[in-house]
Structure 1
């Protein structure tokens, strides 16, 4: 074999170099830290505000007094193998505890305290309440349902969180050394103990659960894997800060980037399918899909304004065809930054108008939050700086001056 035959072809070298660079990038950088922080804040705020607004009616919506009884929910979950801790028992105290913990988890995820743990508890709260009463929602609940699962796999506390603030303070005071984190250990041990007790009592049939706390092996295995992963991550950071930590950090960044890609694809699919279904429907072709909701009392918080808009044929045509064009075109504009930003502003304006005119604030807030994954980083950094400056003016920090 000659030297010419053993030398790699230039095309193969360029391809291998490109793959190597791409692999190093996706495993060495957690993409879109500001966008993922907006997703965390937006979805946590959406769910928190919804739970607080529905607090007086929580028993009729998700509790034992609702029209969708606990037996009906259990039969449905047995068939689709979904998950809800509210189906474990119809006890009112258990419902109040779960609802209260869902509120607390949403608030703590919003501010970014123990983000990894709170994202799991946030997901449990969302799935438990929504799967308990599947007919409660306005479309935004489906988006929140999916995003609550995806957020567990992201590193959404890198910026704009108490975790990031604590990490920066620790890095400045101790040079970034290992953190003891007694609070995290206690929280991890408590959740592990609860998970073990629920699993043992459920499988043995000694407590609430008739056929186990989880509908199948998948959910139980998922929670145990998440619990063990958090423990391994803490142990490696504390006792093995060298190569093991580097490997785990690469894996977590790869998972984060993959989850963000799934979120981007999910949002594109939502708009693409919605737009193409609208094109095929006659009610969107003749404008009645926009005209009639504005005449329904249920969707008219401002009836006079809705009536003025509905009686304007030109306005109905612009809203109808503008909505269809924006939704169909958006996935095709992702590679053109300027055009994408223009359509992004149009979609956010569309959702704001839905919240204001049709009285669907939580649906609109969930969709605007999903759209935020496409916001430019420069704009988010600028927005964060403006919010910080306003906060510092309203709540000036007290600095101790020693003479």
Structure 2
């Protein structure tokens, strides 16, 4: 009996451990399937990336033909030979006609701006991805590093439910009380046009798509059809199942985006450690003396004249990049390093003349911003919008038709 009591006494700390573990697993599964996590972070990444790409396309608009179009030094035949070997996706190589290029370029601008506003984000995110991949893969010699990041993030963004907040979709759902991803008329029209265009391109032989991309594009098209089918049948079980799958995909994509940013900083930091110029603290001296990276010569010379500052920034950059993935284990440390890295990218945009690289990095970093900070910022923007519209209504006078109309975002 004493032996049995000793065994019971030694095993008592583990009593109920299996039940607690099962409960924890159940809570975790319920959390990742019942809701799309980090909706504000997904929205700010959507806004940041689309704003960056839109500004880039608008800035390069006068030079679009030389960069991506028919007068590109990287000729049509060279681009076709390259994509045939690396199987990169670009619809610009379906035709060498200028009309087709203009349609793709301006269509990419339109899709990017609509994604920025959050108008039918499910469809616009796919068109945004197609536009980004088509332009970036057409001329691989262009870019400053930010293009590669946008290339990756555009593919991940398709899998997220990035229009749940801070979007025209969210405002429409609030006004009409429609469920997320509902089958409104505009969504159905866009879905029909997309399917008809893809079918026509394949049947006529105009499109040259690898089988992998054929499956991806038609799979995305059919997934939207499932939402329409569930909406028309008004089946709560079907919608619940689709919501669970969509939440899982969204949460996995947000995890991949966060992991991508961590991998980027970790590899950049550890590669810098191996460089002799980063070890002796003089790495910053060289870009400050390159004409290509010195749009403000006086500012570059002022920074370079202070060797202590050059050394401190060089070592600080390496420390911040290497430490950032580990800082995620502590909220305060993460927020401090995140502020340092965002400040660093903003400085690079000004000092080195790399605004789009810096904007792409800052937009990706925002996936780690605290939800309370994002909501506070959104509330301030909404309040500023209300004040501006109120002043506009007052300037129209008391007889204006929209005197009592309240505009909300």
Q: Same fold (TM over 0.5)?
A: yes
Tell me which residue corresponds to 2:192: 189
**Do residues 385 (structure 1) and 388 (structure 2) align?**
no
Question: Residues of 2 paired with 1:374 and 1:55: CA distance?
Answer: 33
**Do residues 110 (structure 1) and 116 (structure 2) align?**
yes
Q: Which stretches in structure 2 are left out of the alignment for 5+ residues? A: 1-13, 394-401
Question: Residues of 2 paired with 1:365 and 1:400: CA distance?
Answer: 38
**Do residues 11 (structure 1) and 17 (structure 2) align?**
yes
Q: Which stretches in structure 1 are left out of the alignment for 5+ residues? A: 1-7, 203-207
Question: Residues of 1 paired with 2:180 and 2:375: CA distance?
Answer: 28
Matches within 5 A, 1:78-117: 78-117=84-123
Question: Residues of 2 paired with 1:155 and 1:348: CA distance?
Answer: 25
Pairwise CA distance, 1:177: 11
Question: Residues of 1 paired with 2:180 and 2:144: CA distance?
Answer: 47
2:176 to 170, 181, 196: 170
Q: Residue by residue, what CA displacement relative to the aligned partner does 1:75-130 show, whole Å, maximum 9, x if unpaired?
A: 11111111000011111100000000000000000000000000000000000000
Pairwise CA distance, 1:283: 1.7
Change (3 A) 1:42 1:180: closer
Question: Residues of 2 paired with 1:241 and 1:387: CA distance?
Answer: 38
Change (3 A) 1:252 1:177: closer
**Do residues 298 (structure 1) and 298 (structure 2) align?**
no
Tell me which residue corresponds to 1:73: 79
Is the contact made by 1:126 and 1:145 (CA closer than 8 Å) also made in structure 2?
yes
TM-score normalized by the length of structure 2: 0.91
Matches within 5 A, 1:114-129: 114-129=120-135
Is the contact made by 1:179 and 1:238 (CA closer than 8 Å) also made in structure 2?
no
2:345 to 323, 344, 351: 351
Change (3 A) 1:287 1:168: same
Secondary structure of the corresponding residue to residue 384 of structure 1: helix
Tell me which residue corresponds to 2:336: 342
Change (3 A) 1:226 1:399: farther
Change (3 A) 1:136 1:148: same
Pairwise CA distance, 1:360: 0.3
Pairwise CA distance, 1:13: 2.1
Pairwise CA distance, 1:399: 5.1
Is the contact made by 1:178 and 1:238 (CA closer than 8 Å) also made in structure 2?
no
Tell me which residue corresponds to 1:243: 237
Matches within 5 A, 1:4-403: 10-171=16-177, 181-202=184-205, 208=206, 213-214=208-209, 216-396=210-390, 398=402, 400=404
Question: Residues of 1 paired with 2:113 and 2:235: CA distance?
Answer: 32
TM-score normalized by the length of structure 1: 0.92
Change (3 A) 1:155 1:167: same
Secondary structure of the corresponding residue to residue 65 of structure 1: coil
Change (3 A) 1:247 1:399: farther
